[in-house]
Chain A
Amino acid sequence: MSEKLVDAMVRMREPEALSLAAKMLNDGVHPLKVLEQCREAVEKVGKQFELGKYFLPELVMAGEMLKKISAMAEPFLKYDAEDKTAGLGKVVLGSVKGDIHDIGKDIVKFLLDVNGFEVHDLGVDVPPERFLEAIKEVQPEVVGMSALLTTVFESMKNTVAAIKDAGLREDVKIMIGGGTVTEEVRAYSGADAYGKDAVAAVNLAKEWVAAK
C-alpha cells in the first residue's frame, strides 16, 4: 500500500492519497513510515520538476498533500518517538531587507525541509544584522537569500559584506535566488551561487553540505 501512496501523490491524485494515508494509519502502520512515504513522494515530484515535467502547481500540491497527511498522522504520533533525524545540515533563510515577497522563499524552505535540512526561516525584509545573529546562533552550513525586487540587489550585497565583516564568511556558503536574480547579481552580491529555482537551491545545499 505504501507504494500506492507514493504513486498517488506523485500523480497528483489528492483524494486517493489522503484516503490511502488514512487507511494506513488506521491499519496501524507507523505514522513515521507514512510520513517517510510522503517525503519520498515529494522528492520524486522535485525530480519531475527538475526534469521540466512538473511545475509550480505540482510542487504546491505535493506540499499541500504532505501538510494534510502530517495533520492526519499527528494524533498517531506518540511523543516518545521524538525521532527527529539529525538532519542533513542547517540553512538560514530569508528575503532580504526591503523585500517582503515570500512565495519563492517559502517553496525553497519547504523543499529543503522535506529533503532533511533544518531550516531557520527569518521571514521577509530581513536586515543584515538579523542574518548575522542567526548565523552566530544557528551556525548553519548554508545561508539562503531571496529577492524579487531589482532595488534590493544592494541589500544582498550589503548582507554578504556584513557576513564578511563579521568574520563569518568562511563558515557559510551563501546562495541567492528569486525571479530577477541572475549570475550577474550573484557576482555583484558576492554570494557563492545562485539557483534558478527551488530544486536548484536544494541541490546547491546538498552539494555544499556533502563537501564539508
Chain B
Amino acid sequence: MLDRYLNVSPDADRKQKARFDKWLSGENIPFTDPDAAAAYRERVTLIKDAIQLKKTPARIPICPSAGFFPVQYAGVTMFDAMYDYDILTQAWKKYCHDFTPDAYNAPTTIVPGKLLDILDFKLCKWPGRGVSKEQQYQYVEKEYMKAEEYQDLIDDPTGYFMSIYFPRIFGSLKSLEKMPLLPPVNEIPCVPPASLPFETEEVQSTLKTLMEAGKETGRWLTAVRRINRSIMGKGYPAFSGGFTKAPFDVIGDTLRGTIGVMMDIYRHPEELMEACERLTPFMVKSGVASCKAAGHIMPFIPLHKGADGFMSDEQFRTFYWPTLRKLIIGLVDEGCVPQLFAEGGYNQRLETICDVPKGKTVWWFDLTDMNRAKKTVGQVACIAGNVPLSLLCTATTDDVKAYCKNLMDVAGRDGGFIFSTGAGMQGAKADNVKAMIDFAKRYAGG
C-alpha cells in the first residue's frame, strides 16, 4: 500500500464540512449566555474562513500561542502548575480572562507531574525533577533507539515500542520487556505461553503502576476539561485539538535523537525511510483520534528536524517531506485540518511545502519570512504566525506593536492569515503580550 495517502480522497470535502459544522455548533459547551454562544461561533467562523481560502474573514483572528506564559503570568511555578490542578486552573483562567485572545490553547501541554513520577519518565527532566521548580520541562537528548534496531521497529512498531522502547523511557515499566509478540497468539496452544508473563510479580506490579497512572491522568483530565468548558463557555474556541508528529521527527526527536538521525541519513538511509513509512499510518490514526476526542478540527503538529539548517533541500525532499505529506493527506482525508507548526526557519522549504491540497491546512511559521510565505504557501494554505519570541522577551511595547502592524499588513491582506506568535510565549514580558494582543485586535478591527 505504498500509494496510500498520496491523493486526497473524494470524501475529504464532505468530511471537512462535517467537522467544521460540529466544531462550529459548540454542542455540549455550557455557554454562559446567548452572546457567548454567538461570539464563539463568530470566532470559529473567522478561523474557518481563514483556513478555507474561499472568502476573506470578517477580520484577522488573533490566536497567539500561550505556551507556558500563563504560569509565569499568574506568579506560580511550573512545578505548582504541573502538580496542583487547582493552581493550573486558576493560572489558565486568569490568562484567558486578562488577555482574551480569539482562540485559547488548552492546558494539555502542562502535563501532570505525578503521572511522570509514577511512570518514572526518562525522556525529560521537569520542574523539581532535574530542573528548578520555576523552569519548564526539557527533553534529554539521547539515543533511546539503537541504530541496529531499525529492522525490529520496521517489523513490528507496536511490539518494538511496548517491549523495547517503553522499558527504556519509563523506569516503572521495565517488565514490559517480557510482553509476548501478539500476532503469534492465534491458536489454542498459543494462549498459555502468551499469558505466562502476567504470572510474574514484576509484570503484575507494572500493571498496577499503569492503573495508578490511569487514575492520575483521569484526575488531571477532569481539571483540564473543566478549564476548557469554562473558557469555551465564555465564547472562546480552542486554537487546536489533538496532536501528532511528522514520522521523521518521531524517529529524530525521541527515538534516535538529533545526532543519531543525522548519521542515519548517511549510514542507514533505506531503513530510515522505511521506518518513516511504517510509522505514517500510526501518526495519521493518532492525529485523527486525538483531534476527534477534543471535538476539534486542527491537530497540532510541531515540526522539528526539517527546518532550515538542519538538512539540505534534497535531504528534506528525500527523508522528511514524503511521509509528512502522507500524514497531511491522511489527516485531510478524514476531514482534519493539519496545523503544521514550523519551528525555526522554513525559508528554504516554502516551494516544496506548497504541494498540499488547497484550503485544507494551516502553516504556522516561526522565523520564516512572512512576505515570501504569503506569496508561496499562502496561495494554497492559511498561514499563521509569527511575532518573534525574542521580541516579546526583550523588546519594548512600541517595537512589538510596530512588528505586529507590519506583519498584519504583509501577511493579512485578503485573508488566509491567522495572527499568532512564532512560538509558545514562555519568557515573554506581560506588557509586551498585552500590547501585542490589544494592538492586533484593534488593528484587525475586532
Q: Do A and B bind each other?
A: yes
A11 to chain B, nearest CB (A): 11
Q: A40-87: which have CB < 8 Å to B?
A: 53-57, 60-61, 64
Determine if A187 is an interface residue (Cβ-Cβ < 8 Å): yes
In contact, B263 and A64 (Cβ under 8 angstroms): yes
Determine if B136 is an interface residue (Cβ-Cβ < 8 Å): yes
Q: Which residue on chain A has the smallest CB distance to residue B257? A: A103
In contact, B125 and A100 (Cβ under 8 angstroms): yes
Chain A residues near B135 (CB-CB < 8 A)? 98, 149, 151
Interface size of A by Cβ–Cβ distance < 8 Å? 32
Using known A-B contacts A181-B390, A184-B395, determine if residue A100 contacts B131 with beta carbons closer than 8 Å. yes
Determine if A101 is an interface residue (Cβ-Cβ < 8 Å): yes
Q: Which of A12, A60, A102, A181 has the most chain B CB atoms inside 10 A of its CB?
A: A60
In contact, A101 and B390 (Cβ under 8 angstroms): no
A1 to chain B, nearest CB (A): 23
Kindly state the separation between the CA atoms of A102 and B395 in the bound complex, as whole angstroms: 27
Interface hit among B37-45, B46-54, B87-95, B423-431: B423-431
Chain A residues near B344 (CB-CB < 8 A)? 179
Chain A residues near B262 (CB-CB < 8 A)? 56-57, 60-61
- Encoded as 1 (CB less than 8 Å from any A CB) or 0, chain B from 257 to 297 comes to 01100110111000000000000000000000000000000
In contact, A55 and B390 (Cβ under 8 angstroms): no
Chain B residues near A151 (CB-CB < 8 A)? 68, 72, 135-136, 426-427
- Encoded as 1 (CB less than 8 Å from any B CB) or 0, chain A from 178 to 198 comes to 011110110110000000010
Q: Which of B125, B315, B393 has the most chain A CB atoms inside 10 A of its CB?
A: B393
Chain B residues near A125 (CB-CB < 8 A)? 131
Chain B residues near A154 (CB-CB < 8 A)? 427
Chain A residues near B428 (CB-CB < 8 A)? 150
From B130, B140, B390, A180 is in contact (CB under 8 Å) with: B390
From A56, A57, A99, A184, B390 is in contact (CB under 8 Å) with: A184
Chain A residues near B140 (CB-CB < 8 A)? 100
A193 to chain B, nearest CB (A): 15
Determine if A153 is an interface residue (Cβ-Cβ < 8 Å): yes
Kindly state the separation between the CA atoms of A152 and B130 in the bound complex, as whole angstroms: 16
- Encoded as 1 (CB less than 8 Å from any A CB) or 0, chain B from 133 to 177 comes to 011101111000000000000000000000000000000000000
Using known A-B contacts A103-B259, A181-B390, A184-B391, determine if residue A149 contacts B138 with beta carbons closer than 8 Å. yes
In contact, A150 and B389 (Cβ under 8 angstroms): yes
Chain A residues near B394 (CB-CB < 8 A)? 153, 184-185, 187-188
In contact, B138 and A150 (Cβ under 8 angstroms): no
- Encoded as 1 (CB less than 8 Å from any B CB) or 0, chain A from 121 to 158 comes to 00001000000000000000000000001111110000
In contact, A150 and B423 (Cβ under 8 angstroms): yes
B311 to chain A, nearest CB (A): 5
Chain B residues near A181 (CB-CB < 8 A)? 390
Determine if A113 is an interface residue (Cβ-Cβ < 8 Å): no
In contact, A55 and B315 (Cβ under 8 angstroms): yes
In contact, B423 and A61 (Cβ under 8 angstroms): no
Using known A-B contacts A56-B310, A60-B259, determine if residue A101 contacts B391 with beta carbons closer than 8 Å. no
- Encoded as 1 (CB less than 8 Å from any A CB) or 0, chain B from 332 to 345 comes to 00000000000110
Q: B420-446: which have CB < 8 Å to A?
A: 423-424, 426-428
In contact, A100 and B311 (Cβ under 8 angstroms): no
Determine if A7 is an interface residue (Cβ-Cβ < 8 Å): no
Using known A-B contacts A57-B263, A98-B132, determine if residue A182 contacts B258 with beta carbons closer than 8 Å. no
Chain A residues near B423 (CB-CB < 8 A)? 150, 180
List the 4 shortest-distance A-B pairs measured between CB atoms, nearest first. A188-B394, A150-B427, A151-B427, A182-B390
Contact surface of A with B, Cβ cutoff 8 Å = 12, 14, 53-57, 60-61, 64, 98-103, 125, 149-154, 179-182, 184-185, 187-188, 197
